[in-house]
Structure 1
């Protein structure tokens, strides 16, 4: 059966526009029907007014209004060289132009003047491709002269992302005070706060007589809360420029008083400076370190999890194998404390008080001030500028109730009041000037149904018996004002609400788990490894990697560790990255 004929048909010739443009260009080159000469540097370029009017608001205004040029056969274009005008006329008739580093600026200026927006942005894109840390500041100045927002944004983004290299460039010290302030205030700035301070010093020292008065305004842009106390009080506080400013010394004294008071509450004057959040480029990254690997031997491995690629990266190995050490992070530094030091050659072991530290900046292990007491199977937790180490087994092979703390402000370990009841493998967490010790087991390996609370500012313990607590070898982690106790020879997870003083039931783990590790990143709970009791009550090592969202009360699998692991550390380590934020 024949198909019914169409009532209408729309034909669109995709080749016609280019064909017309090609024909018009041929007419121009042959000077056929051209009705105006564009002139520059005694050179003339024949054109068709309708083509120019159609291509540019500038020419539309010139030729379609009562301007003198509308009736002239020759139009002089001041400020545009003949070579640039030749290229632009070719662009109008062909849609093509070659941009080079030699021609880009005059072409861009001419495109701006003649209102060729597409050509202007093409020049901007070409300059963006030439951006580097060495030239981005000069490109920003150029973009402001040309009023090119796209170039300015990309150059500024590179400047904050590559701040270390930019700060070393010749252009940096020529920045004005408002320009420098805008960088120091930028949340995208890729730099540690120590470097921010050193950079503002270098800027002032470039012209000390006219700039030293700016030290206070610049100093307030340094986020002091995220600077290591040793650097703050030994280097910054003693800097002559800082000491010359009464306002700067008052800020440092306020920080010192805040730290000595062991309080998270600061004065009204200090609060705007102290509560400023970390920059976007400072991100918490999950690090897994030490532990027992594949049930074979104590591991020296340290791994970093990249959330973007969902892959594990190997960091520098621990200097030696440590059995049941403690792990904690403070001031963007990973600490490995004590443990049982194993000699593979002789098979001997010794209880250690050594402290090893790792910074992602150097990826090198160093030794720090040792603990006062040798111990292993102990717990550690950080709070403000302190590290607390409690319990564990000493050289006498007995469970110790002792507590000691490291004061990073003075690089000093000091003994504190011991726990009322010595316990092994409790769940430990710090929140609101208190350390909470949940459960654990006694010397006879019996579960202890206790909550022991240490008041940091008063150096005082109290204890509370409760039937709810029955955890052994379970980690604890804090999200807002809730302390989550995860597993411990059970699938159960409970959250202790420190404000309401009550326990809240949470979604169970998928398996009965112990000897695992837990940490919090971006208000989500991550657990790694451990040992599990299967359906046949057999203990197996695990390589699990799971995430819990307290908002939805849901567990999600994140894949697996590179190997099975337990009795390890799992920590959030802050690092500076120049990669843009995820969408």
Structure 2
């Protein structure tokens, strides 16, 4: 390339340096002007000191400093793989190297030791493409040794995001105690706490004599309050190694107390940052047609609704709750057969597996009833029974022993109540009597005492409206009205929130990220006609305002709307 300048021509030969390297490589192969042999094992590689010193700080220090190798004819490098040494020297003279599955690791070690960062990064890039649950722990450890940060970071990411598979690998048992603690305690670990506990115990039992002393410290990395109560009782609390340790027994007893009281305020039970909350819609009447089996999940990142595995049956006016990362659909009228049969059935959904299975049935068949979850329990109450009679009964499901039991009956039986739990109490707002007249009552159940009391109030006239807990208040959302009431249980007072856009009923409501989301329902038009809705709106308590979030995929009412909390995020989720 020639470029004119004020005082002449600037000539640049872009091929000169590469031609020079080729010439030097030819001289090296013919051993012309070579003045040093670099040795590894039985392999001796002839080189030019000046070329090596110019290519790497390692060789520059060796041949230009005061080291004894400066004048030696043969320099032996310990701990290097001989073929890798030859490949590094070839790279110095040609700028090329062929990285394969067979040579990537020893070549990375040689490049790191001899201070060729670009070659080390090339090996790292190749190895990152080969990462899998079966090798990520070992590669993360090697990357730490070699100072290869990008490989270490990516290997750790695979270990955390695919932890259930990583826990089954042989490498897990080879970790030292501090390495295992580092993984188990990471907020970004994606996996159920049951699998975290199983990984811990597999590691301990691999060498119990040496590792039992670490048990208490490592047990502290398991978020025990996110373990299913049945697993806690049968697998954790009964483990012989844990029971043999007084310190571990104390941890388990404290966890059991807090699980029973649903206390989530302690820092050692904080959820992992890898956990996600999901909004689900289940069943209901779709497009004014028959009851649907559809289950929809809100994908907030994509801004769209995704279809999940369908409900096993068409259930008219069933109720649904979320408990321990699962969804329980309770009762309802089974309309699949053409005949309306009131059902006591319980169906349980796992988002991880995207599957439904039959659960333990309720003691009584019921529909148009209320349900709520608290601690380890599900409460199902009111509604209509098999003979379409109004029910005042309540039953409770204990997830730790998979059984239903009868509890104290309500003072007044209702259907379509708004139900919520707060501070060891179950609150039942309004609802309808058997003649579909609104019931102006708040009925309160004390969970630990198994007793009810009722309060009459003119503020309550909700019908077919949900209730949700938002912060320290319970919100009763609509119900043939635009009104949203916020009830303060401690002060026993109501306050009005910003009205909804329409007079709504039969809609769904759930809290996600500290905001209230309302889905679908039916609304009263200005001419007093009833219209089905596909609305999707959000209420922000900070600004006391509503914003539209778009539309549901179709009109929907009498559906269940709930938040599934604390799901370990995984790319495999449906």
Candidates 352, 377, 394, aligned match of 2:385:
394
Of residues 557, 570, 574, the one that matches 1:578 is 570
SS, match of residue 180 in structure 1: helix
> Retained in 2: the 8 A contact 1:21–1:94?
no
Residue 115 of structure 2 is matched in structure 1 by 115
Q: 2:177 aligns to what? A: 177
Q: Deviations over 1:507-554 (max 9, x none)?
A: 332322210111122222222221122333221212223333333444
Cα–Cα, structure 1 residues 333 and 67, in superposed 2: closer, same or farther, change >3 Å?
Answer: closer
Classify the secondary structure of the residue corresponding to 2:406.
strand
Q: For the structure 1 residues 84 and 429, does the alpha-carbon distance in structure 2 shift closer, same or farther, using more than 3 Å as the test?
A: same
More off after superposition, 332-341 vs 101-110: 101-110
1:250-265 → structure 2 map (5 Å cutoff): 250-258=250-258, 263-265=261-263
Q: Secondary structure at the match of 2:345?
A: strand
1:126-525 maps to which residues of 2 (within 5 A)? 126-258=126-258, 263-265=261-263, 275-344=268-337, 347-525=338-516
Question: CA offsets, 1:394-427, max 9 Å, x none?
Answer: 2343433322222223333233333333333232
Q: Which residue number in structure 1 is paired with residue 75 of structure 2?
A: 76
User: Number of aligned pairs?
Assistant: 562
Deviation, structure 1 residue 317: 2.5
Counterpart CA distance in 1 for 2:277 and 2:74 is 63
Specify whether residues 291 and 19 from structure 1 end up closer, same or farther in structure 2 by C-alpha distance, changes over 3 A only: same
Structure 1, 30-39 or 292-301: larger mean CA deviation: 30-39
Shift of 1:292: 1.4
CA distance in 2, matches of 1:426, 1:117: 67
Distance in 1 of aligned mates of 2:10 and 2:542: 55
Q: Would the aligned equivalents of 2:469 and 2:475 in 1 still touch at CA under 8 Å?
A: yes
User: Does residue 537 in structure 1 map to residue 533 in structure 2?
Assistant: no
After superposition, the Cα gap between the structure-2 partners of 1:29 and 1:329, relative to the gap in structure 1 and judged at 3 Å, is closer
- Assess, with a 3 A threshold, how the Cα gap between structure 1 residues 236 and 48 changes in structure 2: closer, same or farther: closer
Q: Find the residue that maps to 1:58 and give its secondary structure.
A: helix
Distance 2:37 2:254 in 1: 69
Question: 1:115 is paired with a residue of what secondary structure?
Answer: coil
| CA RMSD across the alignment | 3.3
Larger mean Cα displacement after TM superposition, 513-522 or 533-542: 533-542
* TM-aligned CA distance change 1:81 to 1:475, over 3 Å: closer
- Preserved CA contact (<8 Å) 1:479 1:520: yes
Change (3 A) 1:8 1:127: same
Compared with structure 1, are the counterparts of its residues 428 and 42 closer, same or farther at alpha carbon in structure 2 (3 Å cutoff)?
closer
Tell me the SS of whatever aligns to 1:389. strand
The 3 A distance-change label for structure 1 pair 409 and 81 is closer
Distance (Å, rounded) in 2 between the aligned partners of 1:509 and 1:62: 77
In structure 2, relative to structure 1, the CA distance for the partners of 1:92 and 1:529 (3 Å cut) is: same
Cα pair distance change 1:31/1:370, threshold 3 Å:
closer
- Give the secondary structure class of the aligned counterpart of 2:344: strand
In the TM superposition, residue 88 of structure 1 has moved relative to its aligned partner by 3.4
- Do the aligned partners of residues 172 and 547 (structure 1) sit closer, same or farther apart at CA in structure 2, a change above 3 Å counting? same
* Cα pair distance change 1:225/1:43, threshold 3 Å: closer
**TM-aligned CA deviation for residue 65 of structure 1:** 4.4
Q: 1:436 to 1:47 in 2, by over 3 A?
A: same
Deviation of 1:255 after TM superposition, in Å, equals: 4.2
Give yes or no for contact 2:166–2:172 (8 Å, CA) kept in 1: yes
- Supply the distance in 1 between the matched residues of 2:145 and 2:319 (Cα, whole angstroms): 57
Alignment partner of 1:24 is 2:20: yes
User: Given the superposition, is the C-alpha separation of residues 12 and 82 from structure 1 closer, same or farther in structure 2, using an over 3 Å criterion?
Assistant: farther
Measured in 2, the distance between the counterparts of 1:402 and 1:508 equals: 34
- Provide the C-alpha distance between the structure 1 equivalents of 2:240 and 2:69, rounded to a whole number of angstroms: 66
Name the CA shift for 1:520/1:92 in 2 (closer, same or farther; >3 Å): same
TM-score norm. by structure 1 comes to: 0.86
The answer to whether the 8 A contact 1:301-1:314 is kept is yes
CA distance in 2, matches of 1:184, 1:511: 49
SS at 2:277 equivalent: strand
Range 127-136 or range 232-241, more displaced: 232-241
Tell me, yes or no, if structure 1 residue 567 matches structure 2 residue 558. yes
Unaligned stretches of 5+ residues in structure 1: 1-6
Question: What TM-score do the two structures reach when normalised by structure 2?
Answer: 0.87
Contact 2:52–2:60 (8 Å) recurs in 1 = yes
Q: CA deviation at 1:94?
A: 4.8
Q: Name the CA distance, whole Å, in 2 between partners of 1:62 and 1:217.
A: 46
Partner secondary structure for residue 171 of structure 1: helix
The whole-number CA distance in structure 1 between the counterparts of 2:65 and 2:217 is: 53
Q: The residue matched to 1:297 in structure 2 has which SS? A: coil
SS in 2 for 1:415: strand
- Following TM superposition, by how much is the alpha carbon of 1:29 offset from its aligned partner in structure 2, in angstroms? 4.0
> Alignment partner of 1:199: what SS?
helix
Q: Distance in 1 between matches of 2:208 and 2:405?
A: 43
CA 1:194–1:31 in structure 2 vs 1: closer, same or farther (change >3 Å)? Answer: closer
